[in-house]
Amino acid sequence: MVVLALTLGSAVTACGGSDSSGSSGDSAEARTVAVTAKEYSFNGDPGTIAAGDTIEFDVSNTGTLEHSMEVLSSEGSSLGKTGRIKPGESAAVTVTFDGAGQYRLICDVDDHLSRGQSANITVVEG
C-alpha cells in the first residue's frame, strides 16, 4: 500500500521530459495515478499501494520550468523515471513495487531536488 501522501505542494515535485518507462511489470495490470509537477513540488493521491502493485504514474507539468520524476527504492536505486517534461506536457513511468517499505519520488532536473522537489511513498504488505 503506498500512501503517497504526496505532501503535494512542496514535498513532491516532478521534473522531466520525454515519455519513458523504467519499470517492470505487466502494464495490462497497471493502475494509473495522476501526478502534477510544478516548481519544487509533486501533487497527487496514489491511494493505497500494496507490495506487488504496478502503478503507472501519469506526470503532468503545470509549472513554468522543465521537470522529471524518478521513483527510487528505499536503498536509492532507480526503479524508473520520465525524461524531461516541458511545461504543459505529460509523461508516464510505470513501476512495480516488489516489496513493502518507503519509496521516494524525486525531480533530478538541475537543482530541483535540493529545492525540495521530492515526495515519499509508503508501500504496505500485499
DSSP 3-state assignment of 18? coil
| pLDDT at residue 105, as a whole number | 98
Topology adopted by domain 15-123:
Immunoglobulin-like (2.60.40)
pTM of the predicted model as reported, rounded to 2 decimal places: 0.79
- Which whole number is the average pLDDT over 77-86? 98
Q: How far apart are CA 71 and CA 88, in angstroms?
A: 21
The cell numbers describing 115, all together, are 529545492
| pLDDT at residue 15, as a whole number | 34
| pLDDT at residue 109, as a whole number | 97
The closest alpha carbon to 30, from 93, 76, 88, 80, belongs to 93
Per-residue pLDDT tens for 20-65?
444 444 444 899 999 999 999 999 999 999 999 999 999 999 999 9
The cell numbers describing 11, all together, are 514535498
- Which whole number is the average pLDDT over 103-125? 97
